[in-house]
């Protein structure tokens, strides 16, 4: 039962601490640089998979900086503004790797990781080609504390889904109402533990062999 998919490889921050090219360092925020390093450490040298990026808030430190500049100075940096879109990192990754397969960005609140994984798995099923799912979030700035709700972890996770290679898994939602718990962090713990089943919030995942 549930949505089935195969994971050919995965990595979570901290990934190999290799230096990013200057062009990426200059255009990505601190969390963006960590996300790009994580993705690049997993990408096969001979493949250009489609990218699916998921994040609840995106590079929120960049967004907060833009809003602060607008409030205090009445204008914002064009360069910063151009990268404030939710799929900015996926675009940078595509340009850097010369990947023309396209990408999708998913933002679905606390369920962003799960819906990103669904997007990646269904894309693999439809295309028959590998997909890289990159999920990242960072802790909200203190100014958002009164309205933040459940705290976000600074989890960064890259999964390489493949139609024929890797271990089989399945994902399902157990109820309509939203539960609690960081989904990406829970999935990382599940992968590391070797357990047969796991979950967080209203989502459950299990090995499907």
CATH number for the domain including 139? 3.40.47.10
What token pair was written down for 183? 């989904």
Is residue 145 in some structural domain? yes
Mean pLDDT of the chain: 88
177 in a domain, yes or no?
A: no
C-alpha closest to that of 199 among 117, 121, 120, 138: 117
Report if residue 36 sits inside a domain: yes
Range of the domain at 21: 3-167
Unique residue bearing structure tokens 């679905």: 108
Tell me the sheet residues that pair with 159: 10, 133
Q: What pLDDT is recorded for position 44?
A: 87
Whether 50 is covered by a domain: the verdict is: yes
Region of 91 on the Ramachandran plot (φ > 0 left; ψ -120 to 50 alpha; else beta): alpha
Residue 97 resides in a domain: yes
Counting the structural domains of the chain, the total is 1
Work out the average pLDDT over 13-32: 82
Residues of the chain with pLDDT > 90, as a percent, come to 56
User: Is the overall model pTM greater than 0.85, yes or no?
Assistant: yes
Say what the pLDDT of residue 22 is: 85
Judged by DSSP in three states, 11 sits in strand
Cα dihedral 101, 154, 151, 118, rounded to 10, equals 30
Q: ω before 150 within 30° of 0 (cis)?
A: no
Q: Which residues pair with 200 in a beta bridge?
A: 203
Residue 194 lies in a domain: no
Domain annotation covers residue 179:
no
- Structure confidence at residue 132 (pLDDT): 98
Residue 173 in domain:
no
Cα 11 from Cα 134, distance rounded (Å): 10
């Amino acid at each position: 039962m549930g949505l089935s998919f195969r994971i050919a490889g995965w990595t979570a921050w901290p990934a190999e601490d290799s230096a990013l090219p200057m062009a990426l360092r200059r255009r990505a925020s601190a969390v963006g640089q960590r996300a790009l390093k994580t993705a690049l450490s997993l990408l096969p040298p001979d493949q250009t998979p489609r990218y699916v990026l998921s994040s609840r808030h995106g590079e929120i430190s960049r967004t907060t900086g833009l809003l602060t500049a607008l409030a205090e100075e009445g204008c914002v940096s064009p360069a910063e503004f151009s990268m404030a879109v939710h799929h900015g990192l996926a675009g940078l990754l595509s340009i850097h790797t010369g990947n023309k397969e396209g990408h999708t960005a998913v933002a679905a609140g606390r369920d962003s990781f799960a819906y990103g994984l669904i997007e990646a798995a269904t894309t693999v099923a439809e295309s028959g080609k590998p997909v890289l799912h990159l999920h990242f979030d960072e802790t909200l700035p203190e100014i958002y504390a009164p309205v933040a709700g459940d705290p976000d972890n600074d989890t960064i996770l890259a999964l390489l889904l493949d139609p024929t290679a890797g271990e089989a898994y399945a994902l399902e939602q157990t109820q309509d109402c939203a539960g609690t718990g960081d989904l990406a962090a829970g999935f990382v713990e599940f992968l590391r533990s070797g357990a047969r089943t796991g979950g967080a919030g209203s989502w459950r995942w299990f090995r499907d062999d």
